[in-house]
Amino acid sequence: MALQELWKNKLRTFLSLFGITIGIFCIIGVLATVNSLEQNIQNEVKSLGSNTIYIDKWEYAGGGPDYPWWKYVKRPSPKYEEIKEIKDRTPSAKYVAFNLSTSDNIQFQGNILSGVHIYGMSEDFKNIQPVDIAYGRFITDAEFARGSNAIVVGNEVAEKLFGAADRALGKVVVAKNKQMQVVGVIKKQGKSMIGGWDFDVSILLAYKFARGVMDERRSDPVIMVQGKDNLSSKALKDDLAGSMRAIHRLSPTQEDNFSLNDINDFSEAVSQLFGSVNIGGWAIATLSLIVGMFGVANNMFVTVRERTSQIGLKKAIGAKSRIILTEFLLESAFLCIIGGLIGLTLVFILTKILSSVFHFPIFISTNNMVLAIGICIAVGILAGFIPARQAARLDPVVAIRSK
């Protein structure tokens, strides 16, 4: 009966569905896009090293005109020699790695590629920051120890210099007037939204070789420390604060001349940011749903008026008020569910378009689909309750006589 009524009054049905469709499209569209973006960024943040502290002279959080760069620039840069002291003084540290980074051109047989990130790291880097190798292998511990010129290159670097990633192995490239032999190619990572390591356009080399390639003082030296399993990053940070103060020989009255940047802090900041975006999306969608709710309620009032004589006949032959109430509530909820399904279909189309534009997957989670249906049922019951209650309280005799 509900389907027949909806089909009979196509324009009225369309206008009622339209508000619900737009409301569900807004809510689920925003949630799907924001959740996918958040998950992608959180994965990129975690790729910087789980439970990891970056020791640097710069504070990563903050920025803007109030950032006290003048204070940080005077601090001493982290040194390779501090790795051993950190390991000795910090029992909570599982791995400690040193890293240098710069950007420059690399050459292969006259072919020059500019803007390549060059990373020079110590042995533990691969334990803190796993690197997936597509072809060849990673730099061995023996090559780290003797400062070999073996390097690992990013997928995009290999494709642009050698025509294909699988052709890179064994090739000799030149960077900073130093020859380097490719022993591995990193698996394609894709474009990063937060910068990160950007391995696709990078080359990785052993620190002892890298210090002869780049100026260590001007190559953003940083120490990466990963805590032991089941240890919170806060506990690790507290231990490192004491260790670094001892290493730098700071008195109790002197302030820190180093920064301990916790990756988990970035993750929490991302969650807070996207939480605010979700609230904005809900606010917009709620307005649409309220408009849609009035449309459905109006439709149900008209339906009750048109079927007043039928309601009276049903009650006259024994139908109870709760049956009439349930019938109209189900019809109202069904109307909203149809609008919700149309909205979900539009969101699905939107996710496909955005996935191709942003080059990373945007999806509708199962929780979001269940949420959409739940919202539709709730809106349908709220919108249809007053008309349904009015229908259930009709006097059978009066209702049958109405036209």
In a domain, 121, yes or no: yes
Q: Name the 3-class secondary structure at 89.
A: helix
Final residue in a domain of this structure, among 257, 292, 312:
257
In a domain, 174, yes or no: yes
Q: Is the pLDDT of residue 276 over 60?
A: yes
Number of structural domains (the chain) is: 2
Amino acid at 84: K
Please give the residue that has the higher pLDDT: either 39 or 119: 119
Q: Is residue 33 domain-shared with residue 141, that is, in the same domain?
A: no
- Flag whether 383 is in a domain: yes
Q: What is the mean pLDDT of residues 239-267?
A: 87
Q: Categorize the per-residue pLDDT at 204 as very low, low, confident or very high, splitting at 50, 70 and 90.
A: very high
Q: Are 246 and 391 found together in one domain? A: no
> For the CA atoms of the chain, what is the radius of gyration?
32
Looking at the fold, whether 385 and 286 belong to one and the same domain comes out as: yes
Residue in the block written with tokens 């307005």: 287
Residue at 191 is within a domain:
yes
Residue 373, both tokens:
């249906």
**Confidence at residue 244, expressed as pLDDT on a 0 to 100 scale:** 92
CA dist 356 and 43 (Å) reads 19
Query: Which DSSP string do the residues of 199-258 spell out, in sequence order?
Result: GGGEEEEEHHHHTTTS-GGGS--EEEEEEPTT--HHHHHHHHHHHHHHHTT--TTSPPSS
Whether residues 98 and 174 fall in one domain: yes
Indicate if 184 and 203 belong to the same structural domain.
yes
Whether 340 is in a domain gets the answer: yes
Residues 287 and 392 in one domain: yes
- The Cα 393–Cα 14 span in angstroms is 28
Q: Tens digit of pLDDT for each residue in 281-295?
A: 777 777 777 877 887
Give the ranges where 47-96 is alpha helix by DSSP (H).
69-72, 82-89
- What is the enclosing helix (H) or strand (E) of 95? strand 93-108
pLDDT in tens, 367-384: 888 888 888 888 888 888
pLDDT band at 20 (very low <50, low <70, confident <90, very high): confident
Final residue of a domain: which of 257, 277, 309? 257
Coil, helix or strand for 326?
helix
Is there a single domain that holds both residue 386 and residue 279? yes
User: Could you tell me if residue 89 is inside a domain?
Assistant: yes
Residues present in the chain in total: 403
Same domain? 31 vs 92: no
Question: Are 89 and 24 members of one domain?
Answer: no
Distance between CA atoms of residues 166 and 174, nearest Å? 19
Structure tokens that stand for 387 in this block = 């008309």
Q: Which two tokens stand for residue 204?
A: 């990785």
Q: Is the pLDDT of residue 393 over 60?
A: yes
**pLDDT at residue 45, rounded to an integer:** 63
Which residue segment(s) compose the domain that 295 sits in? 2-43+268-401
Domain boundary among 257, 279, 297: 257
Q: What is the rounded CA–CA span in Å between residue 262 and residue 106?
A: 33
Residue 195 lies in a domain: yes
Closest CA to 162 of 151, 152, 173: 173
> In this structure, is residue 61 part of a structural domain?
no
> Are 238 and 301 contained in the same domain?
no
What's CA 218's distance to the chain center, in Å?
32
Is pLDDT above 70 for 48?
no
Q: Which range (97-106, 139-148, 346-355) has the least confidence?
A: 346-355
- Nearest-angstrom CA–CA distance, 362 and 373: 20
Q: How many CA atoms lie within 13 A of 205 on its CB side?
A: 30
* DSSP-derived pairing of the beta strands 93-108 and 222-227: antiparallel
What would the two tokens of residue 361 be? Answer: 């997957």
> 25 and 108, same structural domain?
no
pLDDT at 103 exceeding the cut of 80 = yes
DSSP state of 196: S
Handedness of CA 24, 29, 30, 34 (dihedral sign): positive
346 plus 283 within the same structural domain: yes
